[in-house]
Structures are given as C-alpha cells and as structure tokens.
Copies of this chain bind each other. A is one copy, B any other.
Amino acid sequence: MILFGLEALQHRGQESTGMVTSNGVTFNTHKGMGLARNVFNSDNMRRLIGNMGIGHTRYSTSAASEPINCQPFVVHSIHGLLAVAHNGELVNAASLRKMVLERGVGLSTRSDSELITQALCLNPPEGEINGPDWPARIKHLMQLAPLSYSLVIMLKDRIYAVRDPYGNRPLCLGKYPAINENNDLSTGWVVASESCAFLSFTRYIREVLPGEIIEITTNGIKTVDIVPRPSGHKQAFCIFEYVYFARPNTIFEGQEVYTVRSQCGRQLALEHPVEADIVGSVPESGNAAAYGYSLQSSIPFGELLSKNTYVGRTFIQPNNSLRQLNVALKFSPIGTNVKDKRIILIDDSIVRGNTIGPIIKLLRKAGAKEVHIRVASPPLRFPCYMGINIPTRQELIANTHDLKDLSKQVGADSLYYLSVEGLVKAVQKELKPNPELGHCTACLTGDYPGGIPDELDW
C-alpha cells in the first residue's frame, strides 16, 4: 500500500525514493535513486516487513540529488530507532544547522531533512525534556523552525504526522478501507502530502491542521498538540500547489485542485478575452484551465497538441535548432483542430519561456491563423525557500522581459497572464471566510510568510 502511495505521489519527486517499515522491533529500509517502480521490486519489497511504515519521493531543493540525501533518514537514537521523511524546506536551516553542529554532532549531508532528524535526537539544552518525550521534542523543533514542512516521524511503535504552523506544505489524513467496500486489505490510517495517494482504497478524512502533531499507533490516532504560529501571522498554504504542483484530483482545503484550476481558466477568460475559433491547452497541465476558459468564453474546447509520453530528457546538448526539435518530439499539433484556426492556447505557467516559443512555431507551421497565449497563473518573479525549486531571478523570464517583449519573442499574437488578485480570488472563491485564511504567494509577490529567509550559505 505504501508503494502504491509513492507511485501516486511520484509527480512530487522523481529523483530518489525510499521506504522504511517497522515490525515493532526493528526497521527495514530500502532507498534508491530514480522512480519507485524502478527502485522497488519483489525482492526488496519482501524484506520490507512490518505493520507500519513511511515512504518518500524526493526532488532536490538545497541538497544535491545523490544517494546520501535519499529519504527517509533513519538513525539510532538513545530512545530507539527513528525514521523521518520531510516534504518542504527549512527557511532557517542555516541557523538551525549551526546550533546542531555546536552541540557536537557531525552531519553527513547538507540536507535540512538530516538536520531535522538530528535536531529531534538532541536533548534540548534547557533540560526541560527528559527521556523519550517525542511530542515535546517535536514541538521544540517546531518552535525553533516554524517553516516549512510536512513530516512523518516513525518510532518502532508509532508514527507522528506533523504539519508546519503556517500550513505551508500540505498533509492530509485518510482511513482505509473506504466505506461500503468488501476489501481484503486490513484497516488503518494513512497520511500523505496529497489525497491523490489514497487512490480508491483509502477514505479521505481531513487535512492535518497547521501546527498539528498527530500520533498514530495501533490504537488509532490522537492529536497530541497544535503548535501555534508566531502571533499576527496568517496561514500560508503554498498557492503554487494549486497552480502547478499537485495532481488535479487532489483535495486541498476541501476543494478539488481541478476545480480551482478550472476556475483560474474562467477568471483568465474574464480578465483577458479574445475572439477565437478554438481554445486548447499545453497538455496535460493546462487542461483544467482551458476547460474553464472554454466554459466562460463559450469558445469550443479542442485538443491542439498530442503529447508523446515516451520522450524524456535528451542527452543532446541543445542549440536552438535541437530545442525546437525536442519540443516537436514532445508535442505534435493536431492538424484537424489547428489548420486555418484562430487559437487560444492555455498554459499553466511560464517559467523560463523555453517551450512556449517552439510550440507557437509548431502551431503556425501546422496552419494556425492566430495564436493567443493565456497563462493561467501570474508571472513567477521570486525564488521560493520553502520547497519549490524555482530558478534564479535571472532565469525567470518574467524578470527579464515585459509582456510585450515576451509576446513578440515567442511569436504570439497576444499573451497575457492571470493577475495575482485573480488567482487568489479563484483559489478562495469557495473557501469559508476566516481571519486566519491566507496563502503563500511569495514566488509571485516576494511577500514571504515568515519574513525574508536566511540566505543559505554553507
């Protein structure tokens, strides 16, 4: 079941994966570089025995994509075995690292996830935590480092599910089996970054609350604490999860991601209408927004590009001509819907701007009369220090080209982004008004929820 969950979460990290199980006495671990379906096989799965476990799929932010940084991290502590899997990135990693090193610990990696693991083992210097009071240790860590993480922390006989006080990274709770089903799987609890991991066998219960520490044992679940945010700070769930990162059927804050994306498309149609014969998307990430744009504008939706699923990274060093070929290999224009048509093409985001130009060229070669680009999110302008690997400012095309330049450079007849206000409106449309409600838009606005982070420099 953990393997199925890892495969369902593979879009969140393709560089490495790992799993640790506990049988109540000892841990079994298997980790490796690459996709879950390549790392795990019947041999190593047979050894991953136990009645609980945690897993991880990794994409690298600060620490390199190397075997040594594969998660979960497993250590022997004075209070027993400990395994930690971490989604997110510590904004104050540098100062926490200094503190851990000063306590005399040698760190094997530059990973902030190892840092969390060692920080949990350390005896707080104030001495108020004695012995294996893990909830107290976790709370202590959350006070030292309020942003950003979802964590699963496994001991021999329990798992703690932890979400940062800002709720910046997602984490949700499920119970299996799903209702009304005769199922040969036993019963239990699941936590995951996205509810899409629950597949058909686990029933979605709720999100883990910002700051919540949930303890899961064979006796069931228990909220052991809810660590508050610094006062005056609102929730700051990552808006980029809605825009780009999550699977469309995942539920955040009670609403399906697909609905929000579709709503972004509607909003985009309101903000930037244009006459056209057909509206389509850059598959598959722009599908929902294109659908929304079509509904709002009453311009028919149609498939404009067919995606070649066998194409991966090329080893050929790209020049412009080969980059064009590579895009052509990945996306094939559907002549039926493109030839002699005025087209609106919806993309979910434009980051470096390397792809949209070649796509427009392909569409024009296939006979498109007009190509209007509509981007279902605002321009990315700022780095993220909270778990999303955004290119440097210089690489973000929105920082180097104004809208007119960009439109001209990529060869569009027109090109517009969704506004930040429009995005927030689309996201919050169905949410209950609430003074604590807020979303992190740092990558769009530079407004970082916990203040400007440590500049990482180790």
Asked if B303 contacts A287 (CB within 8 A), the reply is: yes
Given contacts A248-B306, A284-B306, contact A106 B102 (CB under 8 A): no
Least Cβ distance of A296 to chain B in Å? 13
- Chain A residues 245-260 with CB under 8 Å of chain B are 247-249, 251, 256, 258-259
Q: Which of B36, B41, B101, B184 contacts A76 (CB 8 A)?
A: B101
Q: Given the complex, which residues of B lie within 8 Å of A11, measured CB to CB? A: 308, 310
Q: Least Cβ distance of A76 to chain B in Å?
A: 5
> Nearest-CB distance from A179 to chain B (Å)?
9
Q: Which of B200, B249, B258, B307 contacts A284 (CB 8 A)?
A: B307
Nearest to A327 among chain B residues (CB) is B200
Copies in the complex: 4
Which of A104, A262, A311, A365 has the largest count of B CB atoms less than 10 A from its CB? A104
Contact A247 B308 (CB under 8 A): yes
Check B118–A333 contact: CB distance below 8 A: no
| A103 at the B interface (CB under 8 A) | yes
Given known contacts A258-B334, A310-B35, is B201 in contact with A328 (CB within 8 Å)? yes
Contact A8 B329, CB 8 Å, known A258-B335, A312-B37, A334-B256? yes
**Contact of B332 with A108 in the complex, beta carbons under 8 Å:** no
Q: Does A10 contact B (CB under 8 A)?
A: yes
What is the bound-complex CA distance between A283 and B309, given in angstroms? 12
A101 (CB) vs chain B CBs: closest residue:
B78
A183 interface hit (Cβ, 8 Å)? yes
In the complex, A291 has a CB within 8 A of chain B: yes
Instruction: Report A341 CB to chain B, min CB distance, Å.
Output: 14
With beta carbons under 8 angstroms apart, the residue of B308, B333, B336 that contacts A10 is B308
Q: Determine the chain B residues whose CB is within 8 A of the CB of A256 once the complex forms.
A: 334-336
- Beta-carbon nearest neighbor of A311 in chain B: B7
Asked whether A200 lies within 8 Å of B303 as measured between CB atoms, the reply is: no
Q: Is the CB of A107 closer than 8 A to any CB of chain B?
A: yes
Interface members, chain A 116-164 (any B CB < 8 Å): 117-118, 120-123
Evaluate contact between A106 and B82: CB separation under 8 angstroms. yes
In the bound complex, CA of A332 to CA of B246 (Å)? 13
Q: Which residue of B lies closest to A37 (CB)?
A: B312
A10-B310, A247-B306 known; A336 vs B258 contact (CB < 8 Å)? yes
Q: Is A394 an interface residue (CB 8 A)?
A: no
CA distance A67 to B31 in the complex (A): 11
Question: Which residue of the partner chain, among B42, B309, B334, contacts A249 with CB atoms under 8 Å?
Answer: B334
A196 with B303: in contact, given A104-B103, A308-B247 (CB under 8 Å)? no
Q: Pick the contact of A74: B7, B108, B319 (CB < 8 A).
A: B108
Is B75 in contact with A107, judged by CB distance below 8 angstroms? yes
Q: Nearest Cβ distance between residue A216 and chain B, in whole angstroms?
A: 21
The answer on a CB contact under 8 Å between A104 and B122 is yes
Q: What is the minimal beta-carbon distance from A161 to any residue of chain B, in angstroms?
A: 20
Question: A361 to chain B: which residues have CB within 8 Å?
Answer: 200
Residues of chain B contacted by A36 (CB below 8 angstroms) = 310
Q: Which residues of B contact A61 (CB under 8 A)?
A: none
Interface residues of A in 282-339 (CB under 8 A from B): 283-284, 287-288, 291, 301-303, 306-316, 319, 321, 324-325, 328-329, 332-337
15 additional A-B pairs beyond A178-B365, A248-B306, A291-B303, beta carbons within 8 Å, are A4-B325, A4-B329, A37-B310, A37-B314, A76-B101, A103-B104, A106-B118, A106-B121, A199-B329, A200-B361, A248-B303, A249-B334, A258-B303, A262-B336, A284-B306
Of the A-B pairs whose beta carbons lie under 8 Å apart in the complex, a sample of 15, sorted by A's number, is A7-B310, A35-B310, A37-B311, A37-B312, A41-B315, A74-B108, A108-B108, A184-B321, A200-B361, A200-B362, A201-B325, A258-B334, A262-B336, A291-B302, A301-B301
Those 7 A-B pairs whose CB atoms lie nearest each other, nearest first:
A75-B106, A78-B101, A10-B310, A104-B122, A106-B121, A249-B332, A200-B328
Residues of A within 8 A of B (CB): 4, 7-8, 10-11, 14, 35-37, 41-42, 67, 73-78, 82, 98, 101-108, 110, 117-118, 120-123, 178, 183-185, 196, 199-201, 247-249, 251, 256, 258-259, 262, 283-284, 287-288, 291, 301-303, 306-316, 319, 321, 324-325, 328-329, 332-337, 361-362, 365, 458
